[in-house]
Amino acid sequence: MASYEREMLVAARILLVRSPNSRGRLPDARVRRSISTTYYALFHFLIEEAGKRLVGADNFLRSRRRILARNFTRSGLKTTFAKIRGQTIDQSVEGFLRGANAGPGRIAAPPFARSFASAFLDAHSKREDADYDRNEFLTAADADILIKRVEAAVQDWNAATDPPASTPCIC
């Protein structure tokens, strides 16, 4: 069975497919729905990963993971990602990412986390305009590039992290 974020990315891409007889620009609604759907693919991927790692990945824990997921906020995620996307991370979170044997001085987030953070902030900024501000210009190219970016972010995350344990961690 396809993961939820994969299903959403497929849906986002279908919105950008032109029918054989269509000409000119894609309808604005399809571009905007695609961007919004792509953002939510990344959002749901992230909170599902967090749930699996904090609650456990077993199927019988799905309901509990979804309760946890309801407590993530966009503003919290935005703030967190803004702190780690730079060449060095914000000093307020250095203690969280500093390894046990690391020396003093500024540290950087792992490359996959930096690129995930930038992809999230990019998707979020475009989703806000797609959903709420029709004066902001967005094109099918923006939607297509965003899908590719989110796909790469998910792929890099999966490549860089171990699969979540099936046994619960904190519950």
Partner 1 sequence: MAQVDSKSLEKLIFRLAEPLEVGKVLRQVEIPPDEGDGVLRIILRLDDLDKADTKDLLKFIEAVEDSLIEKDERFPSVRFAEAA
Task: List residues binding partner 1 (CB under 8 A).
Answer: 82, 85-87, 115, 118, 121-122, 125-126, 128-129, 136-139, 141-142, 144-145, 148-149, 152
* CB closer to partner 1 out of 8 and 119: 119
Cβ 11 to partner 1 shortest distance, Å = 19
| Cβ-based neighbours of 73, under 8 Å, separated by 6 or more | none
Which is closer to partner 1, CB of 61 or CB of 117?
A: 117
**Min separation Cβ 73 and partner 1, Å:** 16
Q: Tell me how far apart the alpha carbons of residues 7 and 51 are, in angstroms, rounded to a whole number.
A: 19
CB-based contacts of 145, cutoff 8 Å, min separation 6? none
Q: Are 146 and 15 in contact (CB under 8 A)?
A: no
Which residue number, 58 or 128, has a Cβ lying nearer to partner 1? Answer: 128
Tokens 């490549």 locate to 159
Structure tokens at 89: 């991370």
Closest approach, Cβ 120 to partner 1, in A, equals 10
117, 81 Cβ separation under 8 angstroms:
yes
- Rounded least distance, CB 167 to partner 1, Å: 37
For the bound state, the minimum distance from the C-beta of residue 26 to partner 1, rounded and expressed in Å, comes to 11
Residue whose CB is less far from partner 1, 71 or 75:
75
Number of H helices, E strands in the chain: 7, 0
Question: Of 33 and 85, which CB lies nearer to partner 1 in the complex structure?
Answer: 85
CA distance 68 to 51: 7
